[in-house]
Each structure stands twice: as C-alpha cells, then as structure tokens.
Amino acid sequence: MSFPEQLRARIGRVGVWSGQFDYSPAPVVRDAAREVQDLGYGALWTGEAVGREVLTAAQLLLAATDDLVVATGIANIWARDALAMAAGQLAVGEAFPGRFILGVGVSHQPLLDVRGQDYGKPLSFMRDYLGGMDHGYDVYRGVAPSPRPPRVLAALGPKMLELAAEHADGAHTFFVPPEHTARARETLGAGKLLAPEQVCVLAADATVAREIARRHTSSYLRLANYTNNLKRFGFDGDDFADGGNDRLVDTICAWGDVDAVAARVKAHLDAGADHVAVQVLVDDRRGLPRKEWAELAPALLAL
C-alpha cells in the first residue's frame, strides 16, 4: 500500500473539525478528543487564530488519545519561520508516528493585523516558505520520523491548488461547496489528499438553523479569500450582504437532520474528496458539539 493510500485508510472518509477547543480548559479538551476517537472518527482537525498555538494544541489532542489522527487546519505560516514549522512537524510526527497531518496556510489579513504583520503577496510567500521547509527537513538534527508526516496546504484558488499539487501531499479546503471539491480534484490530480471542511447545523427548523449558520458565515464573509473564491461559483456582493443570503448560507452550511448532513458530506466524497472534516455548529458559540458528534457518527462513518 502506497503512502497516500495508507494515509487515506488511516483517517477514513469522515473526520471532525472544530475551532471551539480554545474555549475549553485542557481537561475538557482531552476528554472531548477521546470521545471523538471512541466514536470512531479517524481524524480531528483544529485551527489557529489567536488562541492556543496550534502545534501545542495538536500535541494536547494527540497525547490524550491512542490512535486518532490530529491535523492542523491550519498552522499559520506567518506565525513561525519555515525552519520552525518543519522542526515542529518532524518533532510531533516522531513523537506520534502516523498520527499527525500538518496543514499550513497563508491565513488572512485581519489575523496578520493582530500580529502587526503585512500580508504581502501570500502565494509567492507560500512558495518560498515551502522551499524553506524543505531546507529545514535537510538540516534538522532531531530524531526524524519515517515517513515524514504529510504536509497539506490550505488552498482555494487555482494557483494555490496548483502549488499544493506540486509541493505538498494535498489540500485542505474550507468554506467550500461540493462544486469546489470537484474543481480542486481536477487540479490536484488523483495522487493527492483532498480534505474539505463541511460545516453543518443539526436543526430541522429553517429559521433556527440559518440563524446559527449565519453567525458563522458572517465571520468568514469578512475575509476576501473566501468571497473571492465564492465569486468563482456565481456568488456576488448581494449574496454576501448581512452575513449571506439564504442561498449562500444553504450552500455553505448543511442543515436539517442527520440524513441531510450525510448527503452533503457524500456530495463532497462523490466530487472527489478523500476525507471530509465535519464542523458542527450549535447555539452555544463556545460549546463543543459532543452530543451532535455522537448523533452524526453512525451515518457519517457508514459513508
């Protein structure tokens, strides 16, 4: 079995994505991670904004579990230099063999404003950064893991997807419809991991579901990377107003019962995704959707 096939087999077709761990103390995070593992999900994805440093957070999750794969979605490349990122990837990968995926990305201008940094030219910066990471692998003097943990890129546009195809093990996409997944697969080719995130709300009432979903879309529609990407799929400024109209909200967020969420996840898989990282939204914006993870698991893990 080749390395990409081993990776796909290890993480399965569906995992969990959550940005909510920052709001819980470490003992709760550990317990929730073990619950994700015990439910049968193969991978747990977590991001980086202005909460826990993501490689530290990944180790917290890995140390709390036995065989769960933990993936960064994503580690901000402006937050550490390329050598530090490579060293972190190798150190975590060696400590937890076969259980770590490093997702890296260019993040967004507002998150660089917090750091007092200039966003500059993210595509060229990423290209140079990956070269710096490759150099870091060569000069690393710690005990190196074999094989090296996968490196995937946060990629939305064609050029970043092309970079992922050429210089990474695949792509982690976010805030995208299945139509984007199909286009991303065409760009990446058959040999690369494609792992989109899919957000959902388990609520049958349209008003309730869209209210929860719109809080989510409101945050991301402030970021040009996402609106520019959605414009490629027929959305425009009118769709983005006031947190997104119903058409946009329903495109980004799968809401309804378990079957409705499973159908959207299956649409990504049918479009070429290897693995879908499911992010569940609940009314408590800082709460972990542990009940919903359990409710969804039988249907999602049967896909």
- 62-77 tens-digit pLDDT: 999 999 999 999 999 9
Structural domain total, the chain: 1
Q: Which domain holds residue 266?
A: 3-200+257-300
pLDDT on residue 113 = 79
CATH number at residue 90: 3.20.20.30
- The answer to pTM > 0.95 is yes
pLDDT on residue 114 = 79
Asked if residue 95 is part of any domain, the answer here is yes
**Single-letter code of the amino acid located at 283:** D
Q: Mean pLDDT throughout 18-46?
A: 98
Note the pLDDT tens digit of each residue in 137-178.
999 999 999 999 999 999 999 999 999 999 999 999 999 999
159 vs 13: CA distance, rounded Å: 26
Asked if residue 214 is part of any domain, the answer here is no
Asked if residue 82 is part of any domain, the answer here is yes
Tokens of 225: 């990377």
- Cis previous bond, 147, omega within 30: yes
- In contact, 212 and 203? CB cutoff 8 Å: yes
Mean predicted lDDT score pLDDT of the chain: 96
